Every structure is written in C-alpha cells, then in structure tokens.
Structure 1
C-alpha cells in the first residue's frame, strides 16, 4: 500500500487490539519545508484534543518545519469557547545540537505566530488602542533587553495623521515604541505596523460586508510586535525598534472629513480624499518619527493597507515594494522559507503626478492602481533610509483551515520577519 503524497494529506491505518492503536501516514509533498510544515499541521488536526502521538523522523528531516506545522495547526484562539488542546506530540529523531537549535527557533516562531493570531482575532469591543498598548507593555515587562513606551494625549501633538484618524472614536489613539537592544548590535532595524483596531471607513463608510472583519486591520501591528518579542527570545544580535500607531477609525461629529488637510510628524501635509484610506496616514507619522528620531539602517513596514493587494495577488500573497533589489531578494527568500509568499510590485514614477494636491503636499488617495499608489504615498516618508513596504491585507486572514493556517487570523508577517532578522549580520 502506498502512502499519501500530497502535502498535509493523512492516511489512518487502524491497528485493533494493538499498541499503538493506529498509525498515521503523512504526506510531505515535494519534501521541502512547506511540505513538512503542512504534514505537521495535518497530523495534529487528525488527533483528538487530548490524544498523544509520536512522530518518527529520519536524521535529515527538516525538524523546524515539521514542529512549526504541529504548533501552527494546533492553534486555537485563546478566548475561544472551545478549550485549548491538551494533547502531546513527541518528535523522535537522532539528537544533535543543530536539531535542538532548530526546535528552539520553531518554538519562538510558533509562539510569535500564536500571539499575532490572538491579537488579531480579539474582538474590537475589547481591542481598542489603549488595550493593545497595555498588552505590549505587559509583554515587554521583565524581559531583559526589551522596553516599551506609550505616547498618548498631548504627547501626540505632532502626529497629525494619527490624531485625525482616531479623532472620531471615544477610544483615543496611542503610539507605542517597543525596543529590543542586545549587546553590540550589528544593525538597527525599525519595524512599523499599521494598528487600526477597527475600521468603519470613517465618513467614507464601508458597506457592511466590508466592515465585518475590520478587527483585523491591525494585523501588521500584531506581526511586528510578535516578531520583536521572538527576536528577544532568540537573542538576535540586531537592534530593533518597533513602532505601532494605534487608532480606531470611527464615525462621529469629531471624525475627520474628506477635504481636510493633515499635517504629519515630519511637517508635510496631506489632503484627505477618502477617510477609508486611513492606514497610510498613521503610517506616515510613524515613518516620519523614525526618520527624525531613530535614524535606523533599515525600515520595514507591514500593513493591511489595500484591497487592491488581493485583486492583484490573491489571498495567500502579499505585495512587496522596495527600490532595493538585494532587500527584495532577501525578504522574498525569508518569506518563501517561512511559508509566507510575497511578490514584488513596481514603484512606478509614472504615477507620481497623480499624488499632486492644490492645497497640500499630496492627496491621500490618488487615482491609479490602488496598492501601488499607497506605496508611492508612503515612499515620501522614508527619506534616504533603505526600506520596504509589505501590503498584506489579504493573507492576514484565512476563511478556513488551509495547510498550516487555521481559520481566522494568520499572523502573517511574524514568521517572515523572524527568518529575515535571524539572517541579518553586519555585512548584509
């Protein structure tokens, strides 16, 4: 009898009156990391909630991928009515220091992914900007090398985009700075994550179907926070400053309007032409803050920014924008290894004329290809710092179980960032 070949496909062989009572054959597809990750997820889903299993592995098996798949596939939202699983999976393989190190990386990656999924799955009735900021502060507490600070109220005076977007909500905005500072870091990387805890569209209101999942509009913020915590757990020799602008885009008499002119942290101005394009306005402030206060070697931003991303690339692929070919290659390789696809799209200067405003430095929603125009808008705020922008709205959510993904928030981006940051050294 031949076993399953498709990655993640499980064949169950019952063994009545014997131990073990059944044997699972798991397909690994082509045998790459993605196949082994899918196999791990398939195995854990085939088990009962309190069942125990052993996975027998050859010496050359990609242990990290398999372990990640087991953890990813076993995820349940922490506040779900179904209790957490209490089963156990033992990996049986020849022991070596290399395998132990890979399992440590897998665990850190899984912990980060679970955290990003939990934060994103949390309902907006709980997850306002203050709540999210409090979570980051609590997570950073008592962890050597990690610090978290939160700006609120008058401290946000220069953050015009953040104040405009959050001005219509009874839950005021916050700005979080989370820092990992190892001894003798090779480089300083700034991570920026869009943190809109719920997006009604504001005065440019969304239809009901477009609004019902908008608790996920802070998926970028969840990913960068989770990746930073993993970097600290793994003691990565890279200084990381993570910036999270947090706001709820609501509708009220104090909501910002189409036609308003917003002054950003860097002093430049934007004419708001659509209050449902709020993410770029809060990111602009964070990027201006990074350029002015932090002067990093590299800036990466993750944002559930446009629906145009899904139109162009589908549900499993993020859009990557950067003028740097080497950075594009390194991020794409990290994403491929982590199981988070991305595709580089052009920053076409042909469209720059569309950004012009008669009353400000730019308009917020210029005509043209939506995801590209949003990236061109953000490019103004990076200055001369090497940077990349990831538009990851579509892959931040799964409609059903899909290989190592579980239904709901995917935690997209945390895995890629951990792989990328782990590979950084002073020479890259």
Structure 2
C-alpha cells in the first residue's frame, strides 16, 4: 500500500514539473509588461531611419493647415546665400609677335632654295663645261630648261643667246661660264620689273590688296604671312576674311592676324564674300589702316559661276576705292597647269603680281620665268617653307645665285 501511494506521489510530481516547463516557455514569448516610471529616465534608441523605398505614413489624426494659415517668409527674412559659381577664366590674349625683317629673307632661305633647284643650275653648268658643245649637248641643255618649266619660247631664247655667247667667248673657264649663265638668267627673269607690293594708295584710303587663286594653293596662309611681311615693314593692316565657303578659314586668318596685332573682319560661314570685303575696306578706312588684305575663297578656274563671283567682289570693293594689288597665288609644284589657271584669273580680274608657293618643294623653278612671260606681270613673293616668316620678296639676283651656286 505504501508503495502504491509513493508511486502516485512520484507521478504527480513528474506531471507537475512538466506542466511548469510548458507554462514557463509560453511566458517567455510574451512581451514584457511596462515598468513603472522611475526617477532617472531610461535612454531609448532613436527611431530607425526609413530604408530606400519606404513611404512616410502621415498620421491620420494630425490636423492639416489651410494655405491661409501657412506663414510665408517676409521681405526682411534673410535670403539664402547664393552659391558661389566660379567664372570661367578668359583665354589669355595672344602675345604679339615681332616678325622678322623682310630685307634679306631670300638670302637667308637661299640654302633651302638651292637644294630644290640644284638640278637646274648645276645641270646647266655641267653641260656648258663640256669640251665640245655639239648639237646633242645643246639639246640636253634645252631639255633641262624645259623640264624645269621655263617654257618653250623662253628656253629657245636662252639657248640661242648662250650658243652665241659661248661661240664668241672661245675658252670657257668655270668662272666664265658661271658669270655667263648668271647674266643670261637675270636677263630672262627681268631685273627692271617693279616687284614691290603696293602698300600706298596715294589717296586718303588704305591700299587694298586682294588675294586670289585656285583651291589648295595656300591663299589664306599666304595672306596671313603677307600680313607679317607688311607689319615687319612698319605697315598697319586690317584683314578681310572673304573666304566664307571653307570651314574655319576665317578662324585661320584671324589667328594669323592676332599674332601680329592685325584685326580681322569676318562674317557668317556661307555669307556673301563681297559684303565682307566691303565691310573690311570700310573699317580699314575708319581705323586709318595702311593696308587692307582681302582673302578670297579658292575656286576652280573652270567654274564660271565662281569666277563671276570673284569679279563681283572686285566691283563691290572698288565702290570704296580702287584695288592697288591683285595677287595671284600659284602652287609652283603644279608646273604648266598653273599657267592655265593664271590665264583664266587674269581674264576675270586684273592680276598685278604673282605669289609662288612651295618653291622649296619642287625642281621646277623655271615656272618663275614662264608665268611672268605668260601674264606680263612680275613674281613679287615666293614661299619657301611652312614657317611663319618663310614668305620672301622675290629678288632675281638672290634667286639666280641660289640656282647656280658659288
């Protein structure tokens, strides 16, 4: 009996223990009851920041104000400080350059010229130095001159004079031959022609110089270099950017002008070239400039419409004052094709002078003779390189000396 009672008691204890564990676990899952306020407040964690994408919820019981109840800031309210913006720095003004004096430029460039023209001068001296000058030798001399683009008529004249002089001279030392050849080449080039670019109009207006030529001959560059030549000789210059068809032609010309302190008058791309030329002369008169240089667009000599437009530019400019110079820019490397171009331009505008560019890059220096004979106007300037001061006044003596050497 006692054993049975003991077993019942043990069973009751075991059941009670199990029940206590279950109830304890349930109590742990419930939220703790609020504690009574104490004297020292317990710090609480700040509310969690809303995460990206969470929407703020407006309390339903919050009273909303009408627009009349909202106070607007008064005139005396301090305005928020403006955000300081940094002004972009203005580009520095280009430094004004002092161009190299034009006197003696061709002498300085003589080595460059003699390198390209070596075949002409040295070839002629070698042939003339032969002991027996038979017909075959004279034909070789003639071929040498023709290859150098001297032209048929000038070549025949030079060969005839050389044959006569050599026959009369008899003995021929190298010094005699060089002196003979120099004299005959100078006669062919002409030493009595006026090769100065006209920079004085004789009127109250500036001298007006228009630069023309076909595409790719370097007219804009030549105009910029010519501005340097004139500034170096003490002339004040205004540039007219009348080449409105080639992109950036006006920018290019303006850059050349800024380097020597010459102002450029320009208009919109694709604008009327005659109008820009007119404005350039007008402003040149207002400023009291010595020379106005007008750069025209390159045009094919076969395009009648473009050539007519060139004539229009000339007529419009002459409403202010007569043109003092019309310079035709020719690429010396084109040879006889340059003569065809020259003829057409001379029919549209009265060419007064020739600028031969790229003469250092060709062995066809005889084009100087041919183009003068074709147009009846002198070569006034020659280009002998890419440098800013590589445009030189043409000096026949220096040119011939470079051809035949010392």
TM-score relative to the length of structure 2: 0.29
Q: Which structure has the larger Rg over C-alpha atoms?
A: 2
The structure, 1 or 2, with the larger RCO (C-alpha pairs under 8 Å, 6+ apart) is: 2
Q: As a proportion of its length, which structure holds more strand?
A: 1
Greater helix share, 1 or 2?
Answer: 2
